[in-house]
Amino acid sequence: MSYVLLGYGATLGTLGVYALRVVVRGRALSRRARVTR
Amino acid sequence: MSTPARNQASFILGAAALLALASTIVLGLGLPPTLEQGPYARLIAIHPPLAWAAYLAFGVTAVASVLYLWQRTRSRVWDRVAASSAEVGVVFTALTLVTGSIWGRPTWGVWWTWDARLTSTALLLALFLGYLALRGVQTDVHTRAKRSAIAALVAVVDVPIVHFSVDWWRTLHQGRSLAQLTPQSDLDGSYVAVMLLGFVAMTLVYGWLLVERYRVEALEEHFDDQGLGLALEERRAEGEAVAVP
Amino acid sequence: MWRDAALVAGKDLRIEARSRVATNQVAPFAVLVLVLFGFALDPDRGILVRASAGLFWVAVLFSALLAVQRSFAIEAVDGGSDGLRLLGLDPAGIFLGKAAAVFVELVALELLLTAGVVVLYGVDLGGAGLMVATAAVATLGLAAAGTVYGALSAGLRVRETLLPLLLLPVLAPVLLSATRAWEVALGSSVDDGWRWVQLLGVFAVVYVTFGLVGFGALMEES
């Protein structure tokens, strides 16, 4: 069972971290776009 | 750059993806253990859907690359789609390998085996890591777009050749095919249902990631384009700010 | 197109013959790789002989990387690639010419490496027809794919590290197929060797076609 949890955890963790990175970068860039416009 | 309507669409897509993913995980973890594999068959709710999303992502990259290369549909939109989709696809491919490996350890007794499908997936990952590396090189936007599009197509063309060579290689050197042990052999109704839900969930997650990643790509290009002019303006603004008081 | 190809191939080979980079650096490197394999795998000849087909093709692959890099390095100085374009040469011809030059260099290297495998590893050659056919078709594929990727990474700042990352996964099926076919030819495995030659043929056709069609787009701007 621990392998199953490991698999689900790895998937959720990786997708979560990646999504967070993309969203944070997007927010930062669009804020910059608003400020400089 | 980002209109309210698009933000809203992305939000709805993201919420749907999150909901589908959450229910896949809850239902997937609640699946009954199977006779052959015990609890490990539960990984089937996410592993094949991850692989599907990876293939979908690289397919989108290939189509977008063709559309970019074709003069009549050439647009930087396609270049951005190809770039975003490839990056998301690499994440999905890596996860496919990782979840497969985690499933293989208790089921086959090894983390890695030179199974045909594993090997060709690993090569696919290497091909697109190379593609992303090529994209990462600083150069003129149009040169980069064109070269990347060609590189994506060359990589995609290589996939069936890789598949055949690896397939022949492994089926020759191996008495017992691992295909006999793959999860499909002991599926019952609840597994199929949860796996289908997993496909929907991963497709939605892919779509949402693609939209968000595309926005980052577009904004980055936007700033690259006016990078120099912007920097000059900022310096000027600083100079004025100091001069006024 | 054929005339342009012959011109470009002749030019590249003449440069190689005069600069002696291929003979003084690439060829010794290839032999050195064979010697290093000898150190790594106990010269208990059993292992070396059994693995010789694979070791041979790995050495060829590494040398092919050098040959491709070299092929585009000679264009990089003094605006050589702009010159080629300004001469009004057909891009498909340039591709064929460069690939042909790489092909000739690799064939020469393979002859040297074959001698090296026989002398250093004590391999008994056999199945000459299969060996030669495999080498010819595999080398054609190597040269074509290498030239496409050489052009893709030409003129970029990090091309030395980028080219292996791009090229080696693409060439993996060539390594796999050529090794299997040679194992059959050398008698260390029983299989239908010609099937692998066919797969190598498909690879070569695909990348030659790709080069002929796509090289124009690659040369346009760089």
Please count the structural domains in chain C: 1
Q: What is the structure's pLDDT at B174?
A: 44
Find the mean pLDDT for residues B52-81: 91
Whether B131 maps to a domain, the answer reads yes
Residue B74 DSSP code:
-
Count of domains observed in chain A: 1
DSSP bridge partners of B38: B34
**CB proximity A18 to B under 8 Å:** yes
State yes or no: chains B and A have 3 or more CB pairs below 8 A.
yes
pLDDT of residue B7: 79
How far is residue C58's CA from residue C64's CA, in Å, rounded to a whole number?
10
Phi-psi region of B32 (alpha: psi -120 to 50; beta: other; left: phi over 0): beta
pLDDT at B10: 85
Helix (H, G, I), strand (E, B), or coil: what is residue B34? strand
- Residue B181 is predicted with a pLDDT of 47
pLDDT of residue C78: 66
Residue B113 belongs to domain spanning:
4-180+187-220
What is the pLDDT at residue C145?
A: 93
Q: Which of B52-66, B226-240, C28-42 has the highest mean pLDDT?
A: B52-66
How many Å apart are CA B8 and CA A33, to the nearest integer?
19
Tokens of B45: 């709710």
Dist. CA C217–CA C214, nearest whole Å: 5
- What is the rounded CA–CA span in Å between residue C196 and residue C183? 11
Q: Which DSSP symbol is given to C125?
A: P
CB atoms within 10 A of CB A15: 21
The token pair at B81 is 């789609």
A2: domain range? Answer: 1-37
Q: Measure in Å the smallest separation between the Cα of C169 and chain B Cα atoms.
A: 6
Are A26 and B212 in contact (CB < 8 Å)?
Answer: yes
Decide which of A32 and B89 is more confident. Answer: B89
Tell me if B232 is assigned to some domain: no
Q: In the structure encoding, which two tokens stand for residue B68, read together?
A: 């970019």
pLDDT digits (tens, 9 = 90+) for B21-41: 989 888 888 877 776 667 777
* Cβ-proximal residues to B206 (8 Å cutoff; 6+ apart), any chain: B53, B56, B57, B88, B92
Answer for the pair C92, C215: CB distance below 8 angstroms, yes or no. Answer: yes
Q: Report angle CA C207, C155, B136 to the nearest 5 degrees.
A: 85
CA B5 to chain centre: 25
Residue of C nearest to B150 (CA): C214
Contact C188, C50 (CB under 8 A): yes
Q: How many Cβ contacts (< 8 angstroms) between chains A and B?
A: 76
Structural domains in chain B (count): 1
Chain B to chain C Cβ contacts (< 8 Å): 86
Task: Report the amino acid identity of residue B151.
Answer: A
Tell me how far apart the alpha carbons of residues C30 and C65 are, in angstroms, rounded to a whole number.
11
**pLDDT tens track for B151-198:** 999 888 888 888 888 877 776 544 443 444 455 555 567 778 888 898
Nearest Cα to B27, choosing from B213, B238, B202, B193? B193
Kindly state whether residue B176 falls inside one of the protein's structural domains. Answer: yes
Categorize the per-residue pLDDT at B229 as very low, low, confident or very high, splitting at 50, 70 and 90. Answer: low
| Residue B243 within any structural domain of the chain | no
Q: Which of C50, C176, C183, C198 to mutate to test the interface with B (most CBs of B within 10 A)?
A: C176
B18/A contact by beta carbon, under 8 A: no
Interface test with B, best of C81, C147, C152 (most B CBs within 10 A): C152
Please answer whether residues C196 and C214 qualify as being in contact, where contact means their C-beta atoms are separated by less than 8 angstroms: no
Question: The pTM is what?
Answer: 0.84
User: In the prediction, which pLDDT does A35 show?
Assistant: 73
With an 8 Å Cβ cutoff, is B126 touching chain C? yes
Question: Rounded to an integer, what distance in angstroms lies between the CA atom of residue B197 and that of residue B191?
Answer: 10
pLDDT confidence band for B227 (50 / 70 / 90)? low
**A24 at interface of B, judged by CB pairs closer than 8 A:** no
How far apart are the CA of C19 and the nearest CA of chain B, in angstroms? 30
Mutate to test the interface with A, among B6, B84, B85, B215 (most CBs of A within 10 A): B215
pLDDT of residue C45: 63
pLDDT of the residue at B180: 46
Q: Which two tokens stand for residue C70?
A: 């070299």
Asked if B99 lies within 8 A of A26 by C-beta distance, the reply is no
Window from B6-15, B205-214, C168-177, C186-195 with minimum mean pLDDT: C186-195
Best mutation target, B121, B138, B150, to test chain C (most C CBs within 10 A)? B150
Segment A6-32 shows an average pLDDT of 90
pLDDT of B230 reads 63
Any B CB within 8 A of A28 CB: no
| pLDDT tier, A33 (very low <50, low <70, confident <90, very high otherwise) | confident
- pLDDT for the residue numbered C152: 86
Reduce the secondary structure of B206-244 to three states and give it as a string.
Answer: HHHHHHHHHHHHHHHHHHHHCHHHHHHHHHHHHHHHHHC
Say which amino acid occupies C165.
L
Is A12 an 8 Å CB contact of chain B? yes
So what's the pLDDT on residue C58? 93
Nearest CA among C121, C138, C128, C139 for reference residue C187: C128
Give the tokens for residue B214.
């595309």
Extract the residue ranges of chain C whose pLDDT is less than 70: 45, 77-81, 220-222
Q: Where are the beta strands (DSSP E) in C42-157?
A: none
Least confident residue range of B91-100, B217-226, C61-70: B217-226
Cβ-based neighbours of C94, under 8 Å, separated by 6 or more: C4, C5, C8, C84, C215, C219
Tokens representing B70? 């074709």
Domain contains B230: no
Q: What is the distance of C-alpha A25 from the center of its chain?
A: 9
Q: Give CA–CA dist C174/C188, Å, rounded.
A: 19
Tokens encoding B28: 């997937």
Q: How far is CA B31 from CA A8, A11, B104, B145, in A?
A: 13, 18, 19, 45
What average pLDDT does chain B have? Answer: 82
- Is residue B129 one of the residues assigned to a domain? yes
Q: Which amino acid is at C131?
A: M
B132: contact with C, CB 8 A cutoff: no
Residue B134 lies in a domain: yes
